Amino acid sequence: MPRKVNYGLDYDDDYDDDNDYDDYDIDYDVEDNGNLHKPNQEATRSGIWRCSICTYDNDQSMTACDICGVLRNPLPSSGISNGNDLKTAPFKFDVPSPDDIVTNGLRSSKMGPKASANVKKNNMSAPMSTRSSNSSSLTMPKGRNVAGNENNQLKDGERNLRSSAKSPDEMAGTSSSYHEGGVEYTLPMDEIKPRSLAYSLDSASINDRGGYSNSYGTGKAASQGQYKPEKWMLHEAEDGLLSQLNLAIVGHVDSGKSTLSGRLLHLLGQISQKDMHKHEKEAKLQGKGSFAYAWALDESPEERERGITMTVAVAYFDTKRYRVVVLDSPGHKDFVPNMISGATQADAALLVIDASNGSFEAGMDGSKGQTKEHAQLIRSFGVDQLIVAVNKMDVVQYSKDRFDLIKQQLGTFLRSSGFRDSSVLWIPLSAMENQNLVTAPSDIRLLSWYKGPYLLDAIDSLQPPTRNVSKPLVMPICDVIKSPSMGQVSACGKLEAGALRSGVKVLVMPSGDVGTVRSLERDTRPCAIARAGDNVAVVLQGIDTSHVISGGVLCHPDFPITIAKHLELKVLVLDGASPILIGSQLEFHIHHAKEVARVEKMVSLFDPKTGKVMKKAPRCLLAKQSAVIEVVLQGPVCAEEFSSCKALGRVSLRALGRTLAVGIVTRVIEKEPIAFFKSKYFVFFSK
Ligand code: GTP
Ligand code: MG
């Protein structure tokens, strides 16, 4: 019973066209003043409208792009929406939608039959306990910690850099200034240091003021300082319960992620012999015998027919130390948004590499491969513990030379992406031949040179994530399950901070409604208390069920999180990405929400070597450049400055099926009042 999450995208085969990307630049004409003519928001031909983001031609009846889920313009909120628009939800990206689930009972029409008892796909299939896939569960990536915990997890290099600047508090007061155009700009010291991707992002946690003016405080820092957790919230792990570890399985398409996950689940007794026979038989019948293990997780007919994973599957297994939540991500480039939603919750990642000749190289290809993109995304989400599973070693006769070459080439890239060598474990294995998974290898060709841990041991050696229990509740909602007959709604997701138990009041954002927790379920079992790091389904009562949406956030009633449309970001443009210009329209991803964003302003550009501001108000951002920019979103999202809540402050920017940049929220420029937002929002999205 794998559960899957997707953004509701029914990707057509014809979207695979790699040339899509080449069109990107054509849409923009640079004007003399450096601004751009805005691309057509929507080109309409008879019977169709063209998505402003991915250029897919959608049927007129569609209110959001069938490919990327972006809302059709003009937005319903403009007040000129038609009747169809009224049915559109802003966070429509998780599919099946809550309404699909209502219509079809508690399971989405897109979810296949249950595969096995311990594998769950996607949207919660039961009001409680299962977690959504894209989202997934588990313990916290280092990035989720807030200041106090964060220093404990600094990379050595960062620690050195930071210690030179003293404590975070001291850092906040440390600055450097420069003059340009007769104006003095003051920069935090943090802004003038060389940095890697990870450093660029993490360092903002010390001083997140990337911009120079109009600072708009959320006013939360002080109130959070006053927060006092209750005693029950602070208890450590309950007796007999292993701590959860969210493990995102990522990597290039066909590298063997699902096969490896299925094999592990089977070896660890999570898939019964009977179910395994069933998968084998069905796979053989369709001429895809080699996919038997993958089918334990790829359960939808589309996935099985195409032989690829499309949505994140969630499954569980236990090690000696952890209750591991497996998040089997899709590797195909069209489904990176789904991978993002799952991976944002990861505490650690398993990067699966296909060792076969040509396949490793294809994965590393800057424009078509997903190995680098997945690794960079994972790192940008704060994950710094990585296991590289060099799979399909059987195909290369368990060659040490091949393993070493992969380790050397990929290792260089990982290092440049901010992974510390000491936090990366390299495991040669074969999922197909069951070599080096849960026991030491038996094949002499591998045994003769490999003396390291097997995969299960490597997972067990990961550092337990730090849980942020002493902060007010924050739980981004990845799935919503409604049970109209019972008048209840379940919000599913991972607690990033705080704790919950039955009877407590929660503020549901962005609606601003307050509901009461009726019950909780963790991993299909009822639980009394959920604390930071836990993936749970929260059954709410006393609330309009339509006001609980995927992409929203549950928080403490006295500590509302911010809703905003205008944000300042510090971003790093990824290697090989197309230029980002003023006026560029991009997909903006933040926790489980996705919105259309327009680049409003480019504040400053940093020198990639020195990290110093080398240009103010650049016109264009190129690959590998780091900059502070302002974006305006079409619709408001729940967001926080990265320094106050990492989980709500990490973003990624995508266009035409590729991730262009990753970054953090450095400033909320304009905060949407809840009441204002609520009135607009629910006019458009409630039925
Ligand atoms: P996506 O989810 O679509 O990105 O693919 P994936 O990474 O999950 O790959 P999947 O598990 O679907 O496997 C793809 C193919 O690789 C299947 O035919 C598997 O049988 C094959 N495969 C997986 N692991 C191994 C292995 O260790 N050795 C060999 N020879 N083939 C493998
Ligand atoms: Mg797969």
6-40 confidence digits (pLDDT tens)? 333 333 333 333 333 233 222 333 333 333 333 33
Question: Which residues have C-beta atoms less than 6 Å from ligand 1?
Answer: 253-259, 290-291, 294, 308-309, 330-332, 391-392, 394-395, 430-432
pTM here is: 0.67
DSSP of 337-402, one letter per residue? Answer: HHHHHHHTT-SEEEEEEE-STTHHHHHH-TTT-SHHHHHHHHHHTT---EEEEEE-GGGGTT-HHH
Ligand having the closest approach to the CA of 398 = 1
DSSP of 228-253, one letter per residue? Answer: ---GGGG--SPTTPPEEEEEEEE-ST
Q: To test ligand 1's pocket by mutation, which of 250, 259, 333, 433 has the most ligand atoms within 8 angstroms of CB?
A: 259
| Residue 442, burial from CB neighbour count under 10 angstroms (0-12, 13-18, 19+) | exposed
What confidence score (pLDDT) does residue 137 get?
A: 29
| Residue 70 per-residue DSSP state | P
What confidence score (pLDDT) does residue 224 get?
A: 60
Residue 388's DSSP bridge partners are: 351, 426
| Atom 10 (ligand 1) nearest CA | 256
Q: Are 227 and 474 in contact (CB under 8 A)?
A: no
| Residue 301 per-residue DSSP state | H
For residue 147, the SS3 value is helix
Atom of ligand 1 nearest to the CA of 429: 27
| Atom 13 (ligand 1) nearest CA | 256
Residue type at position 474: V
Q: How far is the CA of 281 from the centre of ligand 2 (A)?
A: 19
Residue that wins the pLDDT comparison between 544 and 196: 544
Q: How far is the CA of 52 from the centre of ligand 1 (A)?
A: 35
Residue 628's DSSP bridge partners are: 570, 604
Ligand having the closest approach to the CA of 397 = 1
Residue 656 pLDDT grade (very low, low, confident, very high; cuts 50, 70, 90)? confident
Q: pLDDT per residue over 410-464, tens digit each?
A: 999 999 988 999 999 999 999 999 999 999 999 999 999 999 999 999 999 999 8
Rounded CA separation 591/566 (Å): 17
Give, in degrees to the nearest 5, the angle at Cα 392 between 389 and 396: 120
Q: How far is the CA of 259 from the centre of ligand 1 (A)?
A: 5
Is the preceding peptide bond at 74 cis, omega within 30 degrees of 0? yes
Rounded CA separation 197/558 (Å): 35
Report phi then psi at 599, rounded to 5.
-75, 110
| Atom 22 (ligand 1) nearest CA | 256
For residue 442, the SS3 value is coil
For residue 64, the SS3 value is strand
Give the pLDDT mean for 475-489.
84
Give the pLDDT mean for 280-288.
90
Rounded CA separation 575/190 (Å): 23
Q: Does residue 328 surpass a pLDDT of 50?
A: yes
- Mutual orientation of helices 336-343 and 371-380 as an angle, nearest 10°? 30
Ligand having the closest approach to the CA of 335 = 1
pLDDT above 70 coverage of the chain, percent: 64
Atom of ligand 1 nearest to the CA of 255: 7
| Atom 24 (ligand 1) nearest CA | 256
**Least confident segment among 243-252, 295-304, 524-533:** 524-533
Rounded CA separation 414/529 (Å): 38
DSSP of 250-295, one letter per residue? Answer: E-STTSSHHHHHHHHHHHTTSS-HHHHHHHHHHHHHTT-GGGTTGG
Residue type at position 679: S
Residue 160 pLDDT grade (very low, low, confident, very high; cuts 50, 70, 90)? very low
| Atom 28 (ligand 1) nearest CA | 392
Rounded CA separation 5/479 (Å): 8
For residue 66, the SS3 value is coil
| Atom 18 (ligand 1) nearest CA | 290
Q: How far is the CA of 262 from the centre of ligand 2 (A)?
A: 10
Residue that wins the pLDDT comparison between 99 and 579: 579
- As given in the structure block, the two tokens for residue 29 are 């004409």
Order of strands across the sheet that contains 48-50: 43-45, 48-50, 57-59
What confidence score (pLDDT) does residue 56 get?
A: 56
Q: How far is the CA of 513 from the centre of ligand 2 (A)?
A: 38
Q: Does residue 623 surpass a pLDDT of 90?
A: no
| Atom 14 (ligand 1) nearest CA | 254
Ligand having the closest approach to the CA of 121 = 2
Ligand having the closest approach to the CA of 390 = 1
- As given in the structure block, the two tokens for residue 293 are 């293990």
Q: Which long-range contacts (CB under 8 A, 24 or more apart) does 42-45 make?
A: 42/72, 42/73
Radius of gyration (C-alpha) of the chain in whole angstroms: 24
| Atom 2 (ligand 1) nearest CA | 309
Q: To test ligand 1's pocket by mutation, which of 133, 254, 434 has the most ligand atoms within 8 angstroms of CB?
A: 254
Q: How far is the CA of 520 from the centre of ligand 2 (A)?
A: 30
| Atom 29 (ligand 1) nearest CA | 392
Report phi then psi at 501, rounded to 5.
-155, 170
Q: pLDDT per residue over 367-422, tens digit each?
A: 789 999 899 888 888 899 999 999 999 999 999 999 999 999 999 999 998 899 99
Atom of ligand 1 nearest to the CA of 288: 18
Q: How far is the CA of 332 from the centre of ligand 2 (A)?
A: 9
For residue 47, the SS3 value is coil
Atom of ligand 1 nearest to the CA of 294: 11
Q: How far is the CA of 23 from the centre of ligand 1 (A)?
A: 32
Q: Are 497 and 113 in contact (CB under 8 A)?
A: no
Atom of ligand 1 nearest to the CA of 433: 27
Rounded CA separation 481/537 (Å): 9
Atom of ligand 1 nearest to the CA of 252: 4
Residue 234 pLDDT grade (very low, low, confident, very high; cuts 50, 70, 90)? confident
For residue 633, the SS3 value is strand
Q: pLDDT per residue over 120-149, tens digit each?
A: 453 333 322 233 333 332 222 222 222 223
What confidence score (pLDDT) does residue 397 get?
A: 98
Reference 62, options 73, 685, 658; nearest CA is 73
Q: How far is the CA of 255 from the centre of ligand 1 (A)?
A: 5
